[in-house]
Chain A
Amino acid sequence: MSGLPTVTPAAAPRLRLERVTKRYGAVVANDGVALTVQPGEIHSILGENGAGKSTLVKIIYGAVRPDAGVIEWNGRPVQIRSPHEARHLGVAMVFQHFSLFDTLTVAENVWLGLSRRVPLRAVVDGIRAKAAEYGLELEPDRAVHTLSVGERQRVEIVRALLAEPQLLILDEPTSVLTPQAVERLFVTLRQLAATGCSILYISHKLDEIRALCHQCTVLRGGRVTGTCDPTQETTASLSRLMIGAEPPRLVRRESERGALALRVRDLSLPRLDRFDVPLERVSLDVHAGEIVGIAGVSGNGQQELLAALSGEDPRAEDGAVRIFDQPIGRLHSAARRRLGLHFIPEERLGRGAVPSLSLASNLLLTRRESLRRFGWIDRGALRTQTSGIIERFNVKSGGPGAAARSLSGGNLQKYIVGREIDAVPKVLIVAQPTWGVDVGAAAQIRGELLALRDAGCAVLVVSEELDELFAMTDRLHVISKGRLSPSIATEAATVELVGEWMSGLWGEEAAGATAAAPGRAAGAPPAPGEAP
């Protein structure tokens, strides 16, 4: 029982929830949820996307009010009506999408997070002290927009720690960290728990939970399906609790690599905005019939690279991006699409689809088959085409007339993926293909992408989920600070190696790996200048 906190049985639990229920219209986000967190305990809430984790956390943090249920804090029943009240009780939170102010300095950001009236100078000293105590290096005077994503998380954590919380909530904290940084975070969290602070750790990553947490409450469809000691469970047994079945297995064949389809050479782009990451001499190849992955911690230039490849940002040198040897760097996205390059963005609502428009109208964003002369829309043809995609990709919706925003995340993603796959692209670029999607839809989407590869399409997947990249891709690059690593065959890649590359540390041996990988494909040119 090593690692378990010493809990005196007489002490009241730090936090106890009973029969907590929250409905949104017809959807029950939380259904009679019970949860008990002891002082000094690292408690995980596990569940797949849409299981009700974030609603539960928002209830505890006072951002959402439950429809029914009891919340007890240190043995006393409480009502947490606002984040302000939660913080007053001693609840602190580190958000998945940070609650930082980009134009302000680290110290000002921390200062804003402290409810007590302390002068700014004292805050600066406090930051230095906490940073030293927990090994979290931070410069108080730097503006937040100059920090990396990992450093921003450190600001959030230090801010939370300075409030001397009794309960710290972390929402999917590792999605922005390299595997090595995850280890360091865990050290910090264990150190904190040892002081008696309870930690509520929200995640869907089973290995992490088994490595870190003392207790685990599993949610599925808004209900608690079990509580367990994760150290005593296997990844498979946790997965069964989480999704109620064995995790779906991805069947994949050897790839048959064809001609060079997408070729990027020395793509450099200055930043457009101070929040952008400039791209520095990015080079990569994607051949027909293979899936190439790009791993990396978010905010390292993925958005900028994707925009430059999709044509949303047509500032690249013409020859820096080529499709079947045709230069396309200056073409906008519709022109690139006509050449067979399709793109599935990370944001579904507002980018991949217009929320207020119907699925049929949204088809027109990337498909022009239903257009007649003078741009006249053949509505009958459009409906038929939309229905075809809905049927083929098993999209649950109210039909072609349903507004995009009325679909669940998973179904809208299936529709958008279907819309692009149905176009029979020659090159498909996908960002975060299964981000925020339930397990069933994720398995289907991955399967579709593999089928597309087998049909001879060149696929480029940019993802922050290493598991996903390891399961799907044939070769891997890593992006760090706007620079792209050489590629490595996925079979040869390890989490440790990719983790190191995520920090921008790729050396001579990496260049060797690249030279070996593309060598056997017919017609693949050597990759000059790929090594930094």
Chain B
Amino acid sequence: MIRLEARTAPSQLMGVLSPLLAFATTMLVAGAIFAALGKDPLQGLQVFVLEPFNGLRALSELGLKSTPLILCALGLALSYRSNVWNIGAEGQFLMGAIAGGGLALWVTTAELAIPKLAFFPLLVVAGALGGAAWASIVALLRDRFNANEILVSLMLVYIANLLLSWLVFGPWKDPNGFNFPQTVSFAANTEVPRLIPGMRLGWGLPVALLAALAMWLFMFRTYRGMQLQVGGPAPLAARYAGFSSRAAIWTTLLVSGGLAGVAGAFEVAGPMGQLTPHVSSGYGFTAIIVAFVGRLHPLGTILASLVLSTFLIGGELAQSRLGLPSALTGIFQGVLLLALLACDTLVQYRPRWSRSS
């Protein structure tokens, strides 16, 4: 029988090994699922894990998927470190998409001749405002009425989804769109500038990487960042020190909402080019996994977002190449997070093999 014994200090080795171990476990489970579906496990894994890295175009797509994941996960990492459980990044993403999309729609319909480079910062601001405004509802209700932020932020995801649906089915619907629920295609000058000609990857990625660097500095080099992180593991110490828990709620929610909103704006004005009900492929939820797999660390987030966007693309490839449902991605994501949480036990505890009594 295996028993767990608390370690005197967390194991640093296990802190690094645990995500790798979790990834290996996920691959084993994935292989088993492929085998159970009558596919060659190695071929399946190859499509799922290696194919997304094959060639410049594939890498561009990978970067494109990583962008929203990094942006959303950065804010979530900060929230979770501060013991603020914002799980509504998906809703904040959608509101950013609505705000950014609305702006692009206005520029398109008013035929404003604003240059691309001038529109980009406006897009960032619009997305950030949209996401932060949505998250501020959570902050207000938590701060003012003590309402549980988990449930409120999640309910706001459903509400944001319905709001988006109403817009594209109703007032913002393309009049010449054969009654499809979507806006007109945005004008070219609203598009997020691209990094490499001919590839879809845009300026969003460098913005996300800069955000990660800024988040790292904020978390580990500033007093404010340090203050936020005391409230998570030791709320009494935060009160003792005089660090405001209200500030933590507002800061983390506004920052994470803003970042998720920017991600949403990049998505509509980037690869989508219009607003549809399917702006997000669940980026806000996947980002939760990214945040945890990345150890709630800004640089870890970048690595983890690569892994998770590999899964997203792998799922699409598995559908087109192997005829497997892309829903497999969801399973792999869940298994990865569950395996990671289990492996993380080894950071705090030492397994001991003892004879069963």
Name A's B-contacting residues (CB within 8 A): 24-25, 79, 81, 310-312, 332-337, 343, 345, 347, 350-357, 361, 364-366, 368, 371, 374-377, 379, 403, 405-406
Residue in contact with B243 in the complex, picked from A334, A343, A352, A371, CB distance below 8 Å: A334
Give 14 A-B pairs besides A332-B242, A333-B239 with Cβ atoms closer than 8 angstroms: A334-B241, A345-B240, A347-B236, A351-B240, A353-B234, A354-B234, A354-B237, A364-B226, A365-B241, A366-B241, A375-B222, A375-B223, A377-B221, A379-B221
B297 to chain A, nearest CB (A): 14
Q: A361-B226, A371-B223 are in contact. Are A406 and B8 (CB under 8 A)?
A: yes
B37 proximal to A (CB < 8 A): no
Cβ B226 vs Cβ A352 within 8 A: no
Name B's A-contacting residues (CB within 8 A): 7-10, 221-224, 226, 230, 233-234, 236-237, 239-244, 357
Q: How far is the CA of A337 from the CA of B240 in the complex (A)?
A: 11
Nearest B residue to A375 via CB reads B223
B85 to chain A, nearest CB (A): 19
Q: List 5 A-B contacts (CB under 8 A).
A: A333-B241, A351-B236, A356-B233, A371-B223, A375-B222
Q: How far is the CA of A345 from the CA of B240 in the complex (A)?
A: 8
Q: Which of A337, A364, A374 has the most CB of B within 10 A?
A: A364
Nearest B residue to A372 via CB reads B223
Q: Please, which residues of chain B bring their CB within 8 A of the CB of A24?
A: 8
Q: How far is the CA of A81 from the CA of B240 in the complex (A)?
A: 40
Cβ A365 vs Cβ B223 within 8 A: no
Per CB-CB distance, the 9 closest pairs between chain A and chain B, nearest first, are A334-B242, A375-B223, A333-B242, A365-B241, A351-B236, A354-B234, A332-B242, A350-B234, A312-B239
Q: Please, which residues of chain B bring their CB within 8 A of the CB of A345?
A: 240
Q: How far is the CA of A102 from the CA of B223 in the complex (A)?
A: 39
Nearest A residue to B241 via CB reads A365
Q: Please, which residues of chain B bring their CB within 8 A of the CB of A355?
A: 233-234
Q: How far is the CA of A208 from the CA of B357 in the complex (A)?
A: 40
Residue in contact with A354 in the complex, picked from B10, B222, B233, B239, CB distance below 8 Å: B233
Q: Which of A24, A350, A403 has the most CB of B within 10 A?
A: A350
B125 to chain A, nearest CB (A): 22
A337 to chain B, nearest CB (A): 7
Cβ B242 vs Cβ A311 within 8 A: yes
B291 to chain A, nearest CB (A): 18
B31 to chain A, nearest CB (A): 36
A454 to chain B, nearest CB (A): 27
Q: How far is the CA of A276 from the CA of B160 in the complex (A)?
A: 42
Q: How far is the CA of A353 from the CA of B238 in the complex (A)?
A: 9
Q: A364-B226, A377-B223, A377-B226 are in contact. Are A351 and B242 (CB under 8 A)?
A: no
Cβ B234 vs Cβ A312 within 8 A: no
B329 to chain A, nearest CB (A): 33
Cβ A376 vs Cβ B9 within 8 A: no
Q: Which of B9, B223, B234 has the most CB of A within 10 A?
A: B234
Nearest A residue to B235 via CB reads A350
Q: Please, which residues of chain B bring their CB within 8 A of the CB of A406?
A: 8-9
Residue in contact with B237 in the complex, picked from A79, A336, A353, CB distance below 8 Å: A353
Cβ B234 vs Cβ A405 within 8 A: no
Cβ B226 vs Cβ A343 within 8 A: no
Q: Which of A337, A366, A375 has the most CB of B within 10 A?
A: A375
Cβ A365 vs Cβ B224 within 8 A: no
B7 to chain A, nearest CB (A): 8
Q: Please, which residues of chain B bring their CB within 8 A of the CB of A365?
A: 230, 237, 240-241
B308 to chain A, nearest CB (A): 26
Cβ B230 vs Cβ A377 within 8 A: no
Q: Please, which residues of chain B bring their CB within 8 A of the CB of A25?
A: 7-8
A321 to chain B, nearest CB (A): 15
Residue in contact with B223 in the complex, picked from A343, A364, A403, CB distance below 8 Å: A364
B27 to chain A, nearest CB (A): 31
Cβ A376 vs Cβ B230 within 8 A: no
Q: Please, which residues of chain A bring their CB within 8 A of the CB of B242?
A: 311, 332-337
Q: How far is the CA of A325 from the CA of B233 in the complex (A)?
A: 36
Nearest B residue to A402 via CB reads B9
Q: How far is the CA of A25 from the CA of B241 in the complex (A)?
A: 33
A359 to chain B, nearest CB (A): 13
Cβ B240 vs Cβ A375 within 8 A: no
Nearest A residue to B217 via CB reads A376
Q: Please, which residues of chain B bring their CB within 8 A of the CB of A379?
A: 221
Q: Please, which residues of chain A bring their CB within 8 A of the CB of B244?
A: 332
